[in-house]
Amino acid sequence: MSSWDFLVAKTDLRQARIAPVDASPLADGEARLAIERFALTANNVTYAVFGEQMRYWDFFPGPEGWGRIPVWGHARVEASTHPDLTVGQRFYGYYPMSTHLTVTPRKTRTGFADVAPHRANLPPVYNQYQAVGAASPAEDYQALLRPLFITGFLIEDFLDENALFGARSVLLTSASSKTAISLAFQLKQRGKARVVGLTSARNAAFVEGLGCYDQVVTYDAVVDAPIEEPAVLVDFAGDAPLRRAVHERFGDALAYSCVVGGTHWEAGPSDGRLPGPRPIFFFAPDRIRKRAGDWGPGGLDQRHDAAWAPFAADAPRWLRVIEGVGPDAMAQAYAAVVAGEAGPDEGHVLAPQG
């Protein structure tokens, strides 16, 4: 089985299967990329949870009722009928959990954009592929953390632009998640409010050891923990009962409530109107479009890369890469991540083929 897709049931994310794929001949102007390695984190589960609502399923269509979860990783050109892409070139970007991806490239300053018709009306940030050189160990951390870091970067920038809505504390649920860690790291560096991590008892010691949270509170202590007010909530968990507990605890002292992800995807839907502000979903591509206009050509990349460098340098201290090769390893890693069993200090990097 040389080519295959990893498919997930849209109505039950625990159901997954491997589907063989026959490689079709390339049309003029297309290229086929062999996916070398990609990261699998709770962020990818969030893509699946919001697959219909945010159109994540539309990037890589699958059979009726089944989806191909997007992941971030590296691939090389295996075949090409496009004049600007040659066999052997490597690109970092947004891929399916598959062995291959066929693209319709348009050359850009840093690589190419996939202009396939089915991606034309999807957020452009996910259609960009960056040319890279030879493989290196640093690529694993890039695949694991860079897509999450930019979300943290954009949230921190949004909060700073709004003067933290007057808050003295910023609360981050799922504080052990990699996106939350990236935001905490940047909030801590800015130093304008206390950074409070909300987490499970199981992960509390890990979160405390990161050094980027001023205070760590377990979920069962949210109601009466001494947290400075007013506060802002950044909800990475997507856990409706937890969100309600925070809203009821702070009421009007909650200055802003931001929903980012769904790491606690099985916690259930929202349970009606909440005290305090209405939760607002944070959609990173909208913020990217705004800042690209505000800061001009290259401005966003320059600011992001300056913030990314110290975070990336620190990552090996608290994150270890767990490698897997082939469809069985992929299925095992996916089952662990979707069940919430992956350790916070672990990062799965998978190679579809050896």
C-beta of residue 337 within 8 angstroms of C-beta of residue 348: yes
C-beta of residue 159 within 8 angstroms of C-beta of residue 165: yes
- Tokens 């506060």 locate to 231
| Burial tier of 12 (Cβ tally within 10 Å: 0-12, 13-18, 19+) | exposed
In angstroms, the CA 274 to CA 247 distance is 6
Residue 312 in domain: no
Complete DSSP assignment for 171-219: EESSTTSHHHHHHHHHHHHH-SSEEEEEE-GGGHHHHHHHS--SEEEEG
Domain with 58, as residue range(s), is 4-135+319-351
C-beta of residue 169 within 8 angstroms of C-beta of residue 229: yes
In angstroms, the CA 233 to CA 279 distance is 9
In the predicted model, what is the mean pLDDT of residues 328-342? 92
C-beta of residue 197 within 8 angstroms of C-beta of residue 180: yes
Residue 152 shares a structural domain with residue 186: yes
pLDDT tens sequence across 206-260: 999 999 999 999 999 999 999 999 999 999 988 899 999 999 999 999 999 999 8
Residue 170 in domain: yes
pLDDT over threshold 50, residue 178: yes
C-beta of residue 129 within 8 angstroms of C-beta of residue 92: yes
Residue 98 is given by DSSP the state B
Residue 28 shares a structural domain with residue 109: yes
Given 262, 286, 310, which residue is the final one in a domain?
286
Residue 204 in domain: yes
In the predicted model, what is the mean pLDDT of residues 313-338? 95
What's the pLDDT score for residue 125? 87
What's the pLDDT score for residue 1? 54
103 alpha-carbon distance from chain centroid = 22
Q: Give the Å distances, CA to CA, from 315 to 130, 144, 187, 190, 321.
A: 22, 10, 16, 19, 10
Please tell me the pTM assigned to this model. Answer: 0.84
The CATH number of the domain holding residue 277 is 3.40.50.720
Residue 15 shares a structural domain with residue 35: yes
Residue 154 shares a structural domain with residue 281: yes
Phi, psi of 219 (to 5 degrees): -55, -35
Question: Would you state the structure tokens that stand for residue 56, as one six-digit string?
Answer: 């994540």
pLDDT over threshold 60, residue 189: yes
In which band, very low, low, confident or very high, does the pLDDT at 261 lie, cut at 50, 70 and 90?
low
